[in-house]
Amino acid sequence: MTTIQNRQILLAKRPAGMPTEENFSFVETAVPKLQAGQLLVNTLYLSVDPYMRGRMNDRKTYVPPYALNEMITGGVVGQVEESLAEGFVPGDIVLGNFGWALYNVAAAASVKKVNPDLAPISTALGVLGMPGLTAYYGLLDIGQPKEGETVVVSGAAGAVGMLVGQIAKIKGARAVGIAGSDEKINYLVEELGFDAAVNYKKGDLRQQLKEACPSGVDIYFDNVGGTVSDAVLSLINKGTRIPLCGRISLYNLEQADIGPRIQTQLLINSALMQGFIVSNYAEQAEEGLNQMAQWLKEGKINYTETITEGFDNIPKAFLGLFCGENTGKQLIKIADPAR
């Protein structure tokens, strides 16, 4: 077999504030020879996610930082091109935490097979993957929605947020979304069945939320942080639960994140705020994925994806996450499966 030329994207420079294309470098390398137990995987879909911004800093958050001049890694759906591992054959579709590259060499033990008959394979990075589980466990385990309660979710038109509102509806709760354009809020209400949605870029957010939540807020699923969250938190009820999932409005902040301290509000309402990361639920992941797949099959969950084409456009698609360019899961399509 001849040497396969590979392309990879490295972290060229740590960003201060909002990253630019300069923080990434493209390199060409040769794919190394496979060892026993390894697979050569051809990238089909690659996921860019907001949490990756934290890994570009030189400071541990809940995952270690990316190393400088090393490949950026994340969720990838690919196809096995060559296998030196039992149980895998060329053509298999797999999910893994791989580098931003056309090809990855991966230990078979670190990948998961994707069943292409269950749903489109890209959903392994979205509704049937990490974002799906994040919505499922954050809302159900921490939020514990009850019938008739009001669930507010920020970043509602994102990969996680759009699922949170729909799961809330399945549980008999009222779903209210916060998003950044009229197009998005129309999508949430008209296509996904949210009871209400508000555009935080228009008018007085607190007033809009007050109207959308006449009985106050029982659960706030927070994807964004900052002043949007300040407004929601001013409307919580006694016993409100607040799953903290993300802080996308702050990931590129260059100064300290200063604002009203939330503790008094939590105290006088006996409210609960809990940070989490999906890996806390690794042991229960199969159960959550099966339930999400079932809901998807029954048409109780809908989803959308924003698909950018081409390896060269990965950094651009990643940067777009912080400008609200995506609706639903942001993916980069690199190739179609070979068969």
Among 25-33, 98-106, 126-134, 243-251, the segment contacting a copy of itself (CB under 8 A)? 243-251
Nearest approach, Cβ of residue 45 and a copy of itself (Å) = 27
Type and span of the H or E element at 301: none
Does 276 interact with a copy of itself (rule: CB under 8 A)?
A: yes
Pairing of strands 93-99, 24-30: unpaired
Does 121 interact with a copy of itself (rule: CB under 8 A)?
A: no
Which of 20, 35, 61, 284 contacts a copy of itself by CB under 8 A? 61
Among 16-24, 35-43, 223-231, 299-307, the segment contacting a copy of itself (CB under 8 A)? 223-231
Nearest approach, Cβ of residue 156 and a copy of itself (Å) = 18
Type and span of the H or E element at 196: strand 196-199
List the Cα angle 299/304/309 in 5-degree steps: 140
Does 216 interact with a copy of itself (rule: CB under 8 A)?
A: no
Which of 259, 286, 290, 310 contacts a copy of itself by CB under 8 A? 259
Pick from 91, 107, 85: nearest CA to 42: 91
Burial of 267 (0-12, 13-18, 19+ CB in 10 A): exposed
In whole angstroms, give the CA distance from residue 90 to residue 79. 7
Q: Which is nearer to a copy of itself, 144 or 304 (CB)?
A: 144
Task: Name the DSSP class of 65.
Answer: P
Nearest approach, Cβ of residue 23 and a copy of itself (Å) = 21
Which of 105, 273, 296, 317 contacts a copy of itself by CB under 8 A? 273
Contact predicate 41/111, CB 8 Å: yes
Does 264 interact with a copy of itself (rule: CB under 8 A)?
A: yes
Which of 84, 272, 307, 335 contacts a copy of itself by CB under 8 A? 272
Nearest approach, Cβ of residue 210 and a copy of itself (Å) = 17
In whole angstroms, give the CA distance from residue 199 to residue 183. 9
Give the interface size with a copy of itself as a residue count (CB under 8 A). Answer: 35
Pick from 205, 203, 195, 256: nearest CA to 233: 205
Residue with tokens 């503790």: 263
Residues 6+ apart with CB under 8 A from 213: 150, 152, 174, 176, 196, 235
Does 229 interact with a copy of itself (rule: CB under 8 A)?
A: yes
Task: Name the DSSP class of 157.
Answer: T
Does 225 interact with a copy of itself (rule: CB under 8 A)?
A: yes
Does 245 interact with a copy of itself (rule: CB under 8 A)?
A: yes
**Which positions touch a copy of itself (CB under 8 A)?**
54, 61-62, 222, 225-226, 229, 238, 244-247, 250, 256-264, 266-277, 280
